[in-house]
Structure 1
Amino acid sequence: MDEELNRTIEEGKRLKSWFSGFMLGLIGCFVICCLVVFPMVSKSNKELRKQLEDDTPKYVTGLEFELDTAKLNQMYEIIKNYYLEDYTDEQIVEGIYKGMMESLGDPYTVYYNKEDFDSFMEAGSGQYCGIGVVVSQNITDYTITVSQIFEKSPAAEVGMQVGDIITKVAGKEIGERELSIVVKDIRGEAGTKALLEVYRPSDGKTYVFEPERRVIETPSATGKMLEDGIGLVTITSFEETTAKQYKAAMEELKAQGMKAVIIDLRNNGGGLLSSVCDILDQILPKGVVVSMQEKNGKVTAYECDGKHELDIPMVVLINGFSASASEIFAGAVSDYEKATLIGTKTYGKGIVQTIRQLNDGDGVKITISKYFTPKGRDIHKVGIEPDIEVKDTDQQLEKAKEVIKEKMN
């Protein structure tokens, strides 16, 4: 759920070489627990954002290997003379770029053409033109599942349900397509219709929906007062607007007499690092929130000043769709013993990506660091275990209310 929303997610079939990616193109968001100590650099919120978003180190300035252009020319001649189906030269060139990133074997390192890059950047803005769903992708089998449907949205109006598996968009099979590309096809101009085919596991049937797209204000953080002074804040993704929405929800709940809070991160696939850190600034005591280790061993720590520490009982709900930024949140509140984690183990995405736009408007998303919880835990491909495991989704919130009432007494 960057938005991600991404909002379970492991490496599988994408271990392709550069030239395998080339041929594919023709057809088509420190200290490890082993006592190794790295230099630590602490930075302010603003400084950290600048480093992560504007100053990713440049290690090389050009190719350090010889590219066999004669082989490429030979391959192109074979394609031109023998390939059965239609293709374009632009398709071939784009396949080369995609293959270069796919050769790294990292499903989170991706090349985007300009159209896809613009769509990806829009995803974190908190507003878009679409149908009002949050979807997440399982990186093992590439299935895309509806994890949330906004109230009174086009998707809700036509009868789509949480748990629906999207099998086709605009007549195109999902296959192994990257999540952001599928999301681009679901979105579009206001007033146009999206064509989706979904499989519903609950009844084993396939449905076709045509919701009409419109401008969607993404409610990524919402609040609700439960019984006995217990507030519930649901965070579906960490976007540019999420910290502001979280603060507004908490202020409204406090005005209603909130004495304890449940934070629901279930089905939250992650999002912006800066967003989750801004929210944790409103919760944690003074200290490290999260640390990131780059390829050269340098570690940068994001720190909280502790001036806005939350002093009421807290429970955090998590599940297998809670990933990335959600795990930064869960790991931090767990390490500082600020909250009890309830639900099931999180996904286990403990790496950070950055976005770079290329000179021609295309772009890449590339993994630049691993992150560690305040106590130095590396959760990548491991996940975070709940303090209290509750596998039954319908019972997780009830258990959270039971535990938080005990904390209040």
Structure 2
Amino acid sequence: MKKMLIALLLVQLLGCAAVAPLPPGATLDAAQRAEAFDTVRHRVREQYVDPQLRGVDWDASAARLRPQALAAATDEQFWELLDRLTAELGDAHTQVLSPRRHAWWKAKQSLTLGLRVNEIAGELVVTGVAPGSDAERQGLKPGDAVQRIAGQPALDWWHATLADARKSSTPRAQLRSAARRLNAGDAGSTEPTLALDLEAGGQRRQHMLTRALLPDRPVMSSQLLPSGHGYLRLSAFDPDLAKRTPLGVALFDLRQAPGLVIDLRQNSGGSMAMATTLLTELFPRKVAVGKLLTRDGKPLTRLFGLFNVTGTELMTHGNAAPYGGAVVVLVDEGSASASELVAAALQGLGRAQVVGRTSCGCLLGVQGLIELPGGGALSFSQVDFALQGSPRIEGRGVVPDVAVPLDRAALQAGRDPDLEAAVALLGRLAARGPVAAKPLSAPTPAAAPMQPR
């Protein structure tokens, strides 16, 4: 099992041999552009998890976009076009990062205004504000309605941005592209500010927000709720979190609680090994979670096939002292990848119920970033998942057992209807006593391996 966990960690985090980035101010020459483009073209064609490339005529798409990319007026436009090639697959995990975005990724930083927004009842509403951001400093709060963006009606701007967003796994995944453009600007943009008109409490006000690089600080916290139920929050499956506080330690003071809320909202994923460790905390014995699916049905390898970095079975450890109470998992449209694996596995095995809104639908696995000439990077999917008792999550998402719509009035009042619904559900589930996993031995037909489309 230790080898399996190491393998899963490698699937998520390993990169390939480094390629020297360009010096500051330098530009890609024609040969470097061609090499970067052709590396992406060949790697995806030969190693993508689905040998049918999701029904896309990959070579035709590459032939169409290659002349445009090589003739792009700027390097940023080149990287944007190269990413558009990977977007043809409609896969949130398969993308090209420009050197600028790659550098931020390595530094665990994001260029942002600090805003999370969503459309609610015909309005574009602020649903979250990042700590330390200019949006927080200027007093923006969840529940504020955005009336105008850069002088345009907010919904017109938002719908146009969504329409232009890169093709991805689901419409919910495309929200990320729109949010990135709102927060970081267009590709290659040097404009540091954005004008927003807001409405709250019947009052209109204008803000000029400034973009800034903020650290991506993952959060893991645990507490007892006033109801007496436990609460565990994970904003990402980041191995650094587990190094500081192992999951077993985080759950230690909650083991006597009659119910447990696992909050995976806005958790975009991370280490599959950490996700498996969390599952292990909830089962008294080894449980078959599902299968890892690769292009040829064989384990992924490195070192010219001499070293396996995955098995094909996904299982929990045995656990002598698991948490045995009722469990509810919170998800939303920002829950993706490893967080979807946890939610879907617990739901499919009958170990938990899910509350919130349908998740991203972005459950594939990458082996690591491949660095490209000039400092860019390629990410592409090499693993799919067939989970016990669950339909395929990629392209669908985890559908909650209890759906809770976004509500502007609740946001303005500082309420958390998702958590309220989870606590109410736990009260009913905890009264039934301990919950055991379903005695499944193989993935259900609905979770069959990826088929060519």
1:72–1:357 CA distance, 2 compared to 1 (3 A):
closer
Stretches of structure 1 lacking an aligned partner (at least 5 in a row): 1-40, 80-86, 139-143, 187-192
CA shift in 2, pair 1:288/1:360, >3 Å:
farther
Q: Deviations over 1:308-361 (max 9, x none)?
A: 632232221223443332211111111232222223333322333442222543
Aligned positions, number = 341
Task: Indicate conservation of the 8 Å contact 1:43/1:303, yes or no.
Answer: no
In 2, Cα distance between equivalents of 1:295 and 1:111: 21
* Structure-2 separation of matches of 1:257 and 1:216: 35
2:370 aligns to what?
A: 356
C-alpha separation in 2, matches of 1:340 and 1:402:
12
Distance 1:293 1:237, change over 3 A: same
Which residue is equivalent to 2:396? Answer: 382
SS in 2 for 1:379: coil
Cα distance change, pair 183–42 in 1 and its aligned pair in 2 (3 A): farther
Could you tell me how far apart the structure 2 residues matched to 1:290 and 1:346 are?
19
Q: Alpha-carbon deviations, 1:345-402, whole Å to 9, x = none?
A: 3332233344222254321121223222233531222222323334466533223222
Q: Which runs of 5+ in 2 are unaligned?
A: 17-41, 48-57, 151-156, 167-175, 186-190, 300-311, 408-415, 432-453
Are 1:119 and 2:99 an aligned pair? Answer: no
- What letter matches 2:240 in structure 1? T
The CA deviation string for residues 171-194 of structure 1, in whole angstroms up to 9 with x for no partner, is xx88446757649848xxxxxx96
Equivalence for 2:350: 337
Q: In the alignment, is the contact (CA less than 8 A) between 2:229 and 2:259 conserved in 1?
A: yes
1:355 alignment partner AA: L
Question: 1:232 corresponds to which residue?
Answer: 231
Cα distance, 1:247–1:145 mapped onto 2, change above 3 Å: farther
Equivalent of residue 397 in structure 1, options 406, 419, 432: 419
C-alpha displacement of 1:162: 3.4
Name the structure 2 match of 1:370: 384
Tell me what 1:328 maps to. 341
**Are the aligned partners of 1:223 and 1:232 in contact in 2 as well (CA < 8 Å)?**
yes
When residues 150 and 362 of structure 1 are mapped into structure 2, their CA distance, relative to the original with a 3 A threshold, is closer
Question: Would the aligned equivalents of 2:281 and 2:323 in 1 still touch at CA under 8 Å?
Answer: yes
Q: SS where residue 323 of structure 1 aligns? A: coil
Residue 29 of structure 2 corresponds to residue 44 of structure 1: no
CA distance in 1, matches of 2:359, 2:66: 43
Q: Can you list the C-alpha shifts for 1:148-188, whole angstroms capped at 9, x where unaligned?
A: 3355665323222336779879xxx88446757649848xx
Partners of 2:78 and 2:404 lie apart in 1 by 49
DSSP 3-state at the match of 1:229: coil
The one-letter code matched in structure 2 to 1:195 is T
Relative to structure 1, is the Cα distance of residues 273 and 259 closer, same or farther in structure 2, using a 3 angstrom cutoff? same
**Would you say the 8 A contact 1:291–1:372 is kept in 2?**
yes
Match of 2:289 in 1: 289
8 Å CA contact retained: 2:97, 2:376: yes
Query: Which residue number in structure 2 is paired with residue 318 of structure 1?
Result: 331
**Partner residue of 2:193 out of 187, 192, 195:** 195
Relative distance call for 1:239 and 1:100 in structure 2 (3 A) is same
Indicate if the aligned counterparts of 1:229 and 1:257 stay in contact, CA closer than 8 A: no
Could you tell which deviates more after superposition, 306-315 or 42-51?
42-51
- CA RMSD after TM alignment: 4.8
- Report the 3-state secondary structure (helix = DSSP H, G, I; strand = E; otherwise coil) of the residue aligned with 1:210: strand
Aligned to 1:400, the other structure's residue is in SS state: helix
Output one character per residue of 1:107-132: Cα deviation in whole Å (capped at 9) or x when no partner.
54222232221223334xxxx47669
Matched-pair contact (CA < 8 Å) for 1:260–1:408: yes
Q: 1:47 to 1:367 in 2, by over 3 A?
A: closer
Cα distance, 1:262–1:107 mapped onto 2, change above 3 Å = closer
1:45: Cα distance to partner? 0.4
